[in-house]
């Protein structure tokens, strides 16, 4: 039966009744795919209705010209005529067209040959169709009248360039890639003489050929036959000139011959042995041949029988004796193979004495197939899984009787064939399973019986019945179980390929709750597969343990809603429901992450990030002085949980240097089994996780380039149950940080934007965390340069997320929970006189508060200067902007809300900010006059809002448009209070690291 799916242009496979396969390989195309079917190659020429000629079934669609043009009176006249297509091979961009200058008469067809009689006076043009392309000749019937006989063959090969080589050959190269597409051998010519013994045209000469590459795939081949050869009295006409254009077909086998320096890979024959002719130096013209086979169809096969068949059309055995020839394994041959550059002859494997084709032995040895058994050689190719097999052919001795000529792959008929009968070993198993119920989790199979069934599927390329050998081991001790065959081996009955091969483990060998492993091997009645499958693990679990749950492995809860986290009663309720139900469905709470988590993350944040703010009272900076405690850190987890402003999931920002977040973590230990099917809760861990962050002023000790921030993480453990309480359980606290540099830091290293320093958390058992729930982290950020106004603030932002990584014995995967993402900013502000480096928590808009009750007191012994006048000016102006001075209807005074903030201008940060800062002051002064509320008077200053140290100051309209003109308020107020307010504002800028153009608001207190 034909294995149609295995058929290719060069291979044909038959499935034999005994289960073996036989594949016939050919070195050239034997079939061509046309109209959905394989058709036998037939290069016989036939005329079409339009007068053109084509090969009937050519692998490359060979087409020839019909009659056309007016016959030229001379070769010179023909060469001055327009070129017309003579032969076209292929189609589209990959086609090659050989042209002829001059008229073409009606071609005379003879099988695979087309002859254009007297295409020019005294010369025929001949085209011979070959299996892989074509050959084109010019046949001169008589000596040309002109001494300088020459003609041009235009060639059109789009996408190729041509270059003549020193040996007379021509290399065609892909114009885009530079890859060699084909090599045209050096052209030759011969006369009508043939050697009686060898059958060769022995009187031959080289032909000069000039290559003119005109670009765009247009190439002229200028052919000039040897004038001395043409004029030699010994030359017998007709003379054939072969420009070797068949190389453009781009297929391959070849032979080499002593004394020859040209490529014979496009010839229609292969030669081997001593032809009996000699070279000028007296050396014999011995030939050897090479064939390359496509051995992909027989890779890794077991070879049963082979036959090499060569069509022998001429031999030198004039006595009709049989002459031995040998078959070798060689290295790859190529178009550059020559007698002096032969492939390596690795090893002789076979020989044959079959001989045919001598003209004097036609009765007993007519032209026909000669054969050789090449089993061993082909097996070496198959065992090596080679895609190509390289074969060498040579006569067994140098006796001229051993000379042979056989058809090559280029020949229109009877090309070399290699028939191979073979079998395959059964393939590796593809589906090792254990059951019932034949279900797995994390690549571990679960069985609900002590006598489970093991099964696998095996393929066999030959369709033979296959039995499976199963080997079973105790996974813990790595020792085989006891079986009748020993070594834990169990053998199945034979089954068809692709069907289940099954065995049952004997009773008394397996223990409930233990883990085992097995592997498989296949046998097709003749051959074993040489490999075991990978080990597959199965666990015996005859009864489900744990509480059924809808959760899946990888699910966890991380609850940051303050209404829950801060309420001990709700925390207790969640704990009770979780332990009772194995989930929080009864409370309407879904897992935060994992397979069961909602596809879209629910927003439980009460305010958007850009609405968050924190307020610093200006009294912290009385007299513009640095406070004793610039940080005012959160003291402990209790302060974080009790904070009134801790009302969002991303944590409470007490001030620029003090951050915290509370998260209720519920981590289930989930095992999903199939016995019965479902997932089961095997333990719970419940804790409140509190992360407190501490921003820092100044560089890290010992490093002027490094900014840093410290963190404390506390786990208040509420419950440890089930597998979390077992020995080997571990919780690792981590604080990964993803850092990013602000624009303008081209030389900064991404990995140094934010990374863990010396304090990197801790790992401990759940009980260890219950006894001591504290651990520490520090995050660092290293700059490439010291603080410098010229290079900006070197800002890096780090996004950190506290994580708990759980490791439990018996669980194959790491289980992790995550808290909320927080943000820390590292900066190097050279213009900050209090500290050039620092870190703050920027995830809230900073606000400075002035109180209307903050009045001045001139009493002794210590006078006090308040800011009441400034507070009232700002408050009244913002409440009734249109009534403020200068007068403007629809005036907007920003800075009260984080949605419409002010932006600091730091004049020392650079020329741009300095210029805007000064311009704000200039505009303010122009509007501070006798019309200004409060009027100029002794002891008073003209106060302005928004501040001239903000981008929203009096000159804003000059930068952002006239719609902002007069969007400010000025008022004469107490000079001391005005200056006090300014001192406090400046101190706050420095202390809380308000950077140039950073947003802030101003709060007015009672």
Give the helix ranges, DSSP H, for 762-900. 766-771, 868-879
- Return the H-helix or E-strand segment holding 351: strand 345-352
- Phi, psi dihedrals of residue 52, rounded to the nearest 5°: -75, 170
The three-class DSSP label of residue 770 is helix
Q: Measured between alpha carbons, how far is 213 from 211 in angstroms, rounded to an integer? A: 6
CB 222 within 8 A of CB 209: yes
CB 370 within 8 A of CB 312: yes
CB 878 within 8 A of CB 893: yes
Over the chain (1006 residues), what is each successive 10-residue block's mean pLDDT? 77 80 81 87 91 89 89 82 86 79 91 90 88 85 84 86 79 79 77 82 84 86 89 88 54 86 88 93 95 86 88 95 96 91 95 94 94 93 87 95 93 87 84 89 84 94 88 95 93 94 95 90 86 92 70 88 86 92 91 84 44 87 94 86 52 86 90 69 91 95 93 95 91 96 89 95 95 96 90 93 90 79 94 95 93 89 90 96 94 95 95 95 88 84 96 96 95 94 96 96 96
- Phi, psi dihedrals of residue 516, rounded to the nearest 5°: -130, 170
CB 823 within 8 A of CB 799: yes
Three-state SS letters, 656-695: CCEEEEEEEEEEEEEEEEECCEEEEEEEEEEEEEEEEEEC
* Tokens at 519, concatenated: 């592997």
b/e map of 185-218 (b: 16 or more CB within 10 Å)?
bbbbbbbeeebebbbbebbbbbbebebebeeebb
- Rg of the chain's alpha carbons, rounded to an integer? 47
The three-class DSSP label of residue 421 is strand
Number of H helices, E strands in the chain: 11, 64
In this structure, the number of other CB atoms found within 10 A of the CB of residue 501 comes to 27
The two beta strands, 453-457 and 479-480, are unpaired
Instruction: List, in order, residues 6 or more apart from 950 with CB less than 8 Å away.
Output: 895, 902, 903, 904, 905, 920
Q: Measured between alpha carbons, how far is 277 from 283 in angstroms, rounded to an integer? A: 9
Q: Measured between alpha carbons, how far is 31 from 39 in angstroms, rounded to an integer? A: 5
* Tokens at 535, concatenated: 């080990």
Three-state SS letters, 275-324: CCCECCCCCECCEEEEEEEECHHHCCCEEEEEEEEEEEEEECCCCCCCCC
633-635-636 Cα angle (round to 5): 135
- Strands, sheet with 613-617, edge to edge from the N-terminal-most edge strand: 613-617, 845-851, 999-1005, 902-903
Instruction: List, in order, residues 6 or more apart from 130 with CB less than 8 Å away.
Output: 43, 112, 246, 249, 266, 268, 410, 411, 412
Dump the DSSP string for 897-954: BTTB-EEB--GGG-HHHHHHHHHHHHHHHHH-STTSTT-S-TTEEEEEES-TTBTTST
Residue 289, pLDDT score: 96
In this structure, the number of other CB atoms found within 10 A of the CB of residue 387 comes to 12
* Tokens at 895, concatenated: 């800075």
Q: Measured between alpha carbons, how far is 870 from 619 in angstroms, rounded to an integer? A: 13
β-bridge partners, 292 = 390
- Strands, sheet with 218-224, edge to edge from the N-terminal-most edge strand: 42-47, 53-57, 63-64, 83-89, 96-101, 151-156, 218-224, 208-215
CB 923 within 8 A of CB 959: no
Q: Measured between alpha carbons, how far is 849 from 351 in angstroms, rounded to an integer? A: 105
Q: Measured between alpha carbons, how far is 357 from 314 in angstroms, rounded to an integer? A: 4
Residue 610, pLDDT score: 46
Peptide bond into 436 cis (omega under 30): yes
Give the helix ranges, DSSP H, for 750-796. 766-771
The three-class DSSP label of residue 47 is strand
β-bridge partners, 974 = 940
Q: Measured between alpha carbons, how far is 406 from 393 in angstroms, rounded to an integer? A: 11
Q: Measured between alpha carbons, how far is 1000 from 949 in angstroms, rounded to an integer? A: 12
By residue count, the chain amounts to 1006
CB 714 within 8 A of CB 819: no
CB 735 within 8 A of CB 800: yes
CB 713 within 8 A of CB 733: yes
CB 706 within 8 A of CB 700: yes
The two beta strands, 940-945 and 969-974, are antiparallel
The two beta strands, 845-851 and 613-617, are parallel
In this structure, the number of other CB atoms found within 10 A of the CB of residue 40 comes to 9
24-28-29 Cα angle (round to 5): 80
Instruction: List, in order, residues 6 or more apart from 437 with CB less than 8 Å away.
Output: 446, 448, 674, 675, 677
* Tokens at 960, concatenated: 């952002």
Nearest residue to 58 via CA among 71, 44, 69: 44
């Amino acid at each position: 039966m034909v294995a149609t799916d295995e058929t290719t242009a060069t291979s044909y496979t038959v499935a034999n009744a005994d289960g073996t396969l036989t594949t016939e390989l050919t070195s050239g195309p034997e079939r061509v795919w046309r109209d959905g079917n394989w058709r036998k190659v037939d290069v016989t020429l036939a005329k079409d209705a339009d007068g053109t000629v084509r090969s009937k079934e050519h692998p490359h669609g060979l087409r020839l010209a019909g009659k056309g043009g007016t016959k030229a009176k001379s070769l010179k006249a023909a060469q001055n005529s327009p070129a017309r297509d003579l032969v076209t091979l292929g189609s589209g961009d990959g086609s090659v067209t050989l042209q002829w200058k001059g008229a073409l008469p009606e071609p005379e067809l003879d099988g695979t040959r087309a002859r254009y009689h007297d295409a020019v006076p005294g010369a025929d043009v001949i085209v011979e169709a070959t299996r892989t392309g074509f050959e084109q000749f010019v046949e001169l019937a008589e000596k040309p009248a002109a001494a300088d006989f020459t003609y041009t063959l235009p060639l059109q090969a789009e996408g190729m360039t041509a270059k003549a080589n020193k040996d007379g050959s021509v290399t065609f190269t892909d114009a885009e890639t530079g890859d060699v597409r084909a090599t045209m051998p050096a052209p030759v010519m011969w006369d009508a003489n043939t050697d009686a013994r060898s059958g060769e045209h022995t009187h031959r000469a080289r032909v000069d050929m000039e290559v003119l590459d005109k670009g765009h795939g247009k190439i002229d081949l200028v052919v000039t036959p040897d004038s001395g050869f043409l004029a030699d009295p010994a030359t017998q006409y007709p003379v054939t000139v072969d420009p070797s254009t068949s190389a453009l077909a781009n297929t391959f086998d070849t032979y080499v011959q002593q004394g020859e320096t040209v490529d014979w890979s496009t010839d229609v024959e292969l030669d081997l042995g001593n032809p009996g002719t000699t070279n000028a130096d007296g050396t014999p013209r011995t030939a050897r041949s090479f064939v390359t086979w496509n051995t992909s169809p027989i890779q890794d096969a077991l070879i049963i029988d082979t036959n090499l068949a060569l069509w022998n059309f001429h031999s030198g055995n004039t006595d009709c004796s049989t002459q031995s020839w040998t078959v070798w394994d060689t290295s790859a041959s190529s178009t550059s193979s020559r007698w002096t550059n032969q492939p390596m002859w690795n090893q002789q494997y076979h020989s044959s004495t079959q001989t045919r084709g001598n003209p004097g032995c036609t009765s007993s040895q007519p032209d026909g197939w000669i054969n050789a058994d090449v089993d061993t050689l082909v097996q070496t190719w198959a065992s090596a899984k080679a895609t190509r097999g390289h074969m060498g052919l040579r006569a067994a001795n140098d006796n001229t009787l051993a000379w042979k000529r056989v058809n090559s792959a280029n020949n229109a008929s009877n090309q070399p064939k290699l028939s191979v009968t073979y079998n395959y070993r059964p393939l590796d198993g593809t589906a090792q399973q254990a059951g019932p119920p034949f279900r797995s989790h994390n690549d571990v199979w679960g069985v609900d019986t002590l006598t489970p069934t093991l099964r696998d599927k095996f393929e066999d390329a030959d369709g033979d019945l296959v039995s499976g050998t199963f080997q079973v081991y105790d996974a813990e001790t790595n020792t085989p179980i006891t079986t009748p065959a020993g070594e834990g081996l169990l053998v199945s009955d034979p089954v068809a390929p692709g069907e289940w091969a099954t065995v049952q483990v004997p009773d008394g060998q397996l223990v409930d709750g233990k883990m085992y492993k097995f592997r498989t091997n296949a046998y097709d009645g003749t051959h074993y597969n040489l490999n075991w499958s990978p080990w597959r693990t199965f666990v015996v679990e005859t009864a489900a343990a744990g509480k059924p749950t809808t959760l899946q492995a990888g699910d966890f809860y991380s609850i940051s809603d303050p209404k829950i986290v801060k309420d001990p009663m709700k925390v207790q309720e969640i704990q009770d429901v979780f332990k009772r139900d194995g989930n929080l469905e009864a409370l309407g709470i879904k897992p935060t992450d994992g397979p069961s988590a909602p596809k879209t993350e629910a927003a439980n944040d009460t305010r958007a990030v850009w609405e968050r703010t924190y307020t610093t009272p200006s009294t912290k900076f009385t007299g513009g002085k640095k406070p004793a405690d610039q940080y005012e850190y959160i003291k402990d987890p209790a302060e974080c949980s009790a904070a009134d402003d801790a009302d969002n999931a991303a944590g409470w920002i007490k001030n620029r240097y003090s951050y915290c977040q509370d998260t209720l973590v519920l981590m289930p230990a989930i095992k999903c089994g199939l016995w019965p099917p479902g997932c089961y809760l095997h333990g719970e861990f419940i804790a409140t996780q509190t992360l407190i962050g501490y921003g820092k002023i100044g560089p890290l000790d010992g490093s002027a380039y490094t900014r840093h921030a410290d963190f404390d993480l506390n786990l208040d453990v509420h419950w440890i149950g089930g597998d979390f309480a077992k020995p080997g359980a571990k919780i690792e606290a981590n604080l990964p940080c993803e850092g990013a540099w602000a624009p303008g830091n081209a030389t900064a290293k991404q990995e140094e934007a934010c990374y863990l320093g010396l304090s990197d958390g801790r790992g401990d058992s759940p009980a260890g965390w219950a006894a001591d729930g504290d651990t520490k982290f520090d995050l660092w950020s290293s700059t490439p340069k010291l603080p410098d106004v010229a290079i900006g603030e070197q800002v890096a932002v780090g996004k950190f997320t506290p994580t708990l990584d759980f490791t439990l014995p018996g669980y194959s995967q790491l289980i992790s929970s995550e808290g909320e993402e927080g943000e820390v900013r590292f900066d190097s502000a050279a213009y900050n006189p209090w500290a050039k480096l620092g870190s703050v928590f920027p995830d809230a808009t900073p606000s400075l508060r002035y109180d209307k009750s903050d009045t001045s007191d001139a009493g002794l012994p210590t006078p006090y200067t308040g800011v009441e006048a400034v507070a009232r000016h700002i408050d009244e102006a913002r409440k009734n902007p249109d009534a403020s001075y200068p007068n403007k209807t629809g005036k907007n005074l920003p800075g009260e809300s984080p949605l419409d903030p002010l932006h600091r201008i730091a004049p020392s940060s650079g020329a741009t900010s300095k210029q805007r800062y000064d311009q704000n002051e200039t505009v303010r002064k122009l509007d501070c006059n006798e019309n200004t509320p409060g009027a100029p008077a002794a002891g008073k200053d003209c106060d302005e809002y928004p501040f001239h140290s903000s981008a929203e100051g009096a000159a804003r309209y000059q930068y952002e448009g006239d719609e902002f003109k007069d969007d400010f308020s000025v008022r004469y107020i107490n000079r001391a209070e005005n200056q006090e307010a300014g001192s406090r504002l400046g101190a706050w800028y420095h202390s809380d690291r308000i950077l140039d153009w950073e947003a802030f608001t101003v709060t007015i207190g009672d």
